[in-house]
Amino acid sequence: MKLTYIGTMAKIFVICTSGRDDINNTNMAISFALGARRNAGADVSFMFLGRGVENLLKDAATAQQMEGLIRGMKDAGIDVSYCGVSLKNLGFNDGMVMPIADEVMGGVQSARKIDDGYQVIAF
């Protein structure tokens, strides 16, 4: 039996602050975003913030897995971004991350999403 959600489309802004040492929490954030999009038809946006940007590093042990998960989110219609301020504050630079997500300013992006009616879910 297939369940169908009927109602107003939710707008969810998922923020992932889990670093590369907590890949399980990062996977949970991505699974949540994909589930909300695919199963509930929600309008989902996803941002890596703080130590979460570590998940985008090209040299991370999980880089290949993470790239596949991010491509999956993008293919599902989820907007994926990362905070460039967080990246720089952690001592990284643009050349160190996979070119798979849009660079934003985390505070500005969060304010815009809230102004646009998104509910924030943080992992």
The domain locations on the chain are 11-122
CA distance 55 to 115: 27
**Given a cut of 70, is residue 5 above it in pLDDT?**
no
Class of residue 68 by CB neighbours under 10 A (exposed 0-12, middle 13-18, buried 19+): exposed
CATH 3.40.1260.10 is right for the domain spanning 11-122 = yes
Where is 13: in which H helix or E strand?
strand 11-16
91-111, pLDDT tens digit by residue?
Answer: 999 999 999 999 999 999 999
Spatial contact of 104 and 84, defined as CB atoms under 8 Å apart:
yes
Mean pLDDT of 59-65: 93
